[in-house]
Structure 1
């Protein structure tokens, strides 16, 4: 068996042989708001890192706000000297970048698996949850679904414009689910799909959604939760790049239009034991009910993860299939937690609350924490929507309320890590306050 460094070195050398024109590789990781940060490395230096040379980036890069600024969070950022922290290369993620004007590569990096992981790094938070579940004999299988909008490349005074239909050059301003939209935008969609596959992402179904210029991409079910979240993160990056290459702007913004549906991140999760038995299907599906109850109990306390910004909170309850309360149901898309019809082998939950611009590592970590809590507590869930359309528990829809609910919940602090919860909540609080500092033109119209 090859050592990790030997495997990585072979990966880098194979990449260089297959892509001799690539001179630089972007080493990237996801920060708390869900943006990629990193460094552009000469490919020959990447060989040294793969062979074991240290790879260090500032620890506090993980703490960047939505606009890239640093907030004072405890002693981080301004009282800690801005120290470096070790990162490592994620095997299997070195891929060519096809949407840039010059040949380029990219590769994921992370602090998880290093001697001193960053407790609040999103990938490390998920890695710890998955490791704990594995020690309990629980093996998740995960599939993400992501919705997004296509817009015209040019903004109109900062506002998005409808994507232009390439056949008629008219604005694609009609909400529909027609299959013809897939044909009209096939050139850019096909490029998105092929580019994703080049990145090692297992994408499956492409759907034209209800909103004008809105689409959904489904990913294959994956028995590695970290890899599944990697796919979701990398797909957002490649899709934005491909869209720009074709003269569009792709966005995973949760609610770009008030009058049309928002974009969500739906996550399918099933749980298996080491022998491959579906844990949720045992004992007449009683563990499924317990898992649902745990998800619903923690959901109101994880809202800053599922709806991570002011715009994401706008999506909730306004239009089709966006829940206003923590609810569940069989084959019910109005529920936060939907149980799709399936045979016992594939029995799973579909968590539908998160916005498309949420951090996939943290979304999955929060969902798994809820499932784990439910299996431990063994409580019965509330009545499903199939039996009572008014069933459901309230959750906060204002960011500061949501942050307080998350920071004070002992189970969430235990399952996701107290240090992470404190850092994350303060990051969201500071982002929210910074957002409020700008006076909008509407305020002058109303109050001047």
Structure 2
């Protein structure tokens, strides 16, 4: 068996042979708000890192706010000397970048698996949850679905414009689910799918969604939770790049139009034992009910993860298939937790609450935490929407309320890590306050 460094070195050398024109590789990781940060390395230096040379980046890069600035969070950022922290290369993620003007490569990096992982790094948070489940004999299989909008590349006074229909040249301003929209936008959509596949992402179904210029991409079911979240993160990056190449602007913003549906991140999760038996299907599906109860119990305390910004909170309620309360149901897209019809082998939950711009590592960590808590607590869920359309429990829809609910919940603190919860909640609080520090033109119209 090859050592990790030998495997990485072989990956880098194979990449250089197959892409001799690539001189630089972007080493990237996702920060707390879900943006990529990193460094652009000469490919020959990457070979040295793969062989074992240290790879260090500032620890506090993980703490960047939505606009890239640093907030004072405890002793981090301003009282800690801004130390470096070790990162490692993620095997299998070195791929060519085809949407830039010059040949490039990109590769994921992470602190999980290093001697001193960063406790609040999103990928590390998920890695800990998955490791704990594995020790309990629980093996998740995960599939993400992501909705996004296409806009015209040019903004109009900072506001998005409808994407132009390539066939007619007119704005694609009619909300519909017509299959013909896939044909009319096939050039850019096909390029997005092909580029994602080049990144190692298992793309399956493409759907035209209800909103004008809105589409959904489904990923294959994956028995590696970290890889499944990697796919979601990398897809967002490549899709934005491909859209710009074709004269569009792709956005995973949760609610770009008040009058049209928002964009969600739907996550399908099955749980299996070491023998491949579906744990949720055992004992007349009683574990499924327990898992649903756990998800719903912790959901109101994970809202800063599922709806991570002011705009994401706008998406909840008021439009088709967006829940206003923590609820569940069989084959019900109005529920936060939907149980799709399936045979016992493929029985799963579909968690539908998260916005498309949420951090996929943290969304999956929060969902798995809820399932784990439910299986342990063994409580019955509230009445399903199939039995009572008014069933559900309230969750906070204001960011400061959501932050307080998350920071004070003992199960969340225990299973996601108290250090992460405190850092994450303060990051969201500071982002929210910074967002409020601008007077909108509407305020002058109303109050001047």
Taking structure 1 as the reference length, the TM-score comes to 1.00
Quote the Cα distance in structure 2 between the aligned partners of 1:49 and 1:274: 35
Aligned-pair distance for 1:366? 0.1
Aligned-pair distance for 1:359? 0.0
Aligned-pair distance for 1:37? 0.0
Which residue of structure 1 aligns with residue 88 of structure 2? 88
Aligned-pair distance for 1:318? 1.9
Quote the Cα distance in structure 2 between the aligned partners of 1:78 and 1:328: 44
Q: Deviations over 1:145-178 (max 9, x none)?
A: 0000000000000000000001110000000000
3-state DSSP of counterpart to 1:324: coil
Q: Deviations over 1:214-270 (max 9, x none)?
A: 000000000000000000000000000000000000000000000000000000000
3-state DSSP of counterpart to 1:132: helix
Which residue of structure 2 aligns with residue 169 of structure 1? 169
Quote the Cα distance in structure 2 between the aligned partners of 1:136 and 1:6: 31
Q: Deviations over 1:195-227 (max 9, x none)?
A: 000000001000000000000000000000000
Q: Deviations over 1:345-364 (max 9, x none)?
A: 00000000000000000000
Quote the Cα distance in structure 2 between the aligned partners of 1:391 and 1:40: 51
Aligned-pair distance for 1:425? 0.1
Quote the Cα distance in structure 1 between the aligned partners of 2:260 and 2:219: 24
Quote the Cα distance in structure 2 between the aligned partners of 1:165 and 1:290: 47
Q: Deviations over 1:63-82 (max 9, x none)?
A: 00000000000000000000
Q: Deviations over 1:85-128 (max 9, x none)?
A: 00000000000000000000000000000000000000000000
Q: Deviations over 1:356-402 (max 9, x none)?
A: 00000000000000000000000000000000000000000000000
Taking structure 2 as the reference length, the TM-score comes to 1.00
- Misfit runs of 4+, over 2 Å: none
Quote the Cα distance in structure 2 between the aligned partners of 1:193 and 1:145: 13
Quote the Cα distance in structure 2 between the aligned partners of 1:394 and 1:166: 43
3-state DSSP of counterpart to 1:386: coil
Aligned-pair distance for 1:180? 0.3
Quote the Cα distance in structure 1 between the aligned partners of 2:272 and 2:119: 27
5+ long unaligned stretches in structure 2:
none
The count of residues paired between Structure 1 and Structure 2 equals: 448
Which residue of structure 2 aligns with residue 414 of structure 1? 414
3-state DSSP of counterpart to 2:215: strand
Quote the Cα distance in structure 2 between the aligned partners of 1:167 and 1:136: 54
Quote the Cα distance in structure 2 between the aligned partners of 1:106 and 1:335: 37
Which residue of structure 2 aligns with residue 42 of structure 1? 42
Q: Deviations over 1:390-419 (max 9, x none)?
A: 000000000000000000000000010000
Matches within 5 A, 1:71-82: 71-82=71-82
